Structure 1
Amino acid sequence: MPKLIAAILVGLAVAILIAVVGFAGVWWTGSYNVAADEPHSRLVASALTSIRERSITGHAQGIPVPDISAPQMVAAGAKQYAQMCVQCHLAPGKDDSDLRKGLNPQPPNLYLHGVHDPARAFWTIKHGVKMTGMPAWGGTHDDQALWSMVAFLRRLPELSPAEYERLTEQPPASHQEAQ
């Protein structure tokens, strides 16, 4: 029995060594294609998606969600979404963009899917996601502004194109200056 265990351990060590050398070879030679116009293999895409989802879930746990149902909060978030997010995440009546076409992985279409967990959405908006094109808005926007975007995202799937346009409409420049 000890010989069998020793053989298994040696076999396992050899397999690990081969995997490490193979990984190092791919890394050193640059043979893995990181071009955004070629999708990851299924294995890599699955691993990256799993890592991303588990990370966001873990980091978002315990974030207290404020009342995000106030209409003024939704309206403020709508304007920010139109300025910062619509080119990647789309909106009613805006089904694609040149920027979105060049992103890999494709960002979620938030007007079709919305957000189901406000804490996860807040964490993602605040901290961004490495190597996806999702910026970390927490360095340039306070938490109140980020929560207003989450408030808007909760409403977004219910909006018609006309309602979206009404909510995201910017007041004329002379009106903005008067405020």
Structure 2
Amino acid sequence: MRLIVSGIIGGVGLVAIVAVTGFVIVYTGAYNVAASDEHADFIRWAFSTTMHSSVERRADGIAAPESFSDDMIAAGASRYKAMCAHCHAGPGVERADWAEGMRPQPPHLIEAAAEWEAREIYWIVANGIKMSGMPAFAASHDPEELWSLVAFVDRLPGMTAEDYAGYPDPDESSQTR
């Protein structure tokens, strides 16, 4: 019985120490939130794991189209070039200089899009990601526009620079709101 009571007291003590440490870090400003400072490995892992798990869970009920037409992909390319490439780059195109200072660093979707299913990409584009600079586009774009963007992003992995350049540059007045 003493062993159980000692274990409970030890567990409660450990939780109290972790809570107090957390409050000290939060209220003293000990953690550097400057975007010029890289996240610590543990923080990067925690943010990334939380984000992936959250998106996977919330996108579970979204039904993606069976396939994407060439017209959808082309419309999505125009939107991507207008709204996304400055942060996420494109085949043969670097992200904007100012995006290099973002933390967390926006992923290069040429590689990162392969990690996501279309329904998950849709959820991210529609809802954004807190504390990452990724905006939520559902308030300003209808589902058809979002799905065309998803169609293009879904094709980015493996796309060549020539393929990317073959999509016309956007007429921003008609593609963004």
Deviation at 1:68, TM superposition (A): 4.0
2: CA distance, partners of 1:136 / 1:170: 20
| TM-score normalised per structure 2 | 0.90
Distance change >3 Å, CA 22–CA 143, structure 1 → 2: same
Q: Which runs of 5+ in 2 are unaligned?
A: none
Equivalent residue for 2:32? 33
Greater mean deviation of Cα atoms: 132-141 or 92-101: 92-101
Deviation at 1:105, TM superposition (A): 1.2
More helix by share: 1
2: CA distance, partners of 1:121 / 1:80: 15
Deviation at 1:54, TM superposition (A): 0.5
Deviation at 1:161, TM superposition (A): 2.5
Equivalent residue for 1:156? 156
| Structure whose alpha-carbon radius of gyration is higher | 1
- For these two proteins, the number of residue pairs brought into alignment is 172
2: CA distance, partners of 1:73 / 1:11: 59
What is the aligned-residue RMSD (CA, Å)? 1.8
Equivalent residue for 1:138? 138
| TM-score normalised per structure 1 | 0.89
Distance change >3 Å, CA 22–CA 152, structure 1 → 2: same
Distance change >3 Å, CA 34–CA 117, structure 1 → 2: same
Residues 39-94 of structure 1 deviation map (CA, whole Å, 9 limit, x = unaligned):
22122211111111100000000200114421110111000000000011101221
1: CA distance, partners of 2:51 / 2:75: 28
Q: 1:10 corresponds to which letter in structure 2?
A: I
Equivalent residue for 1:15? 14
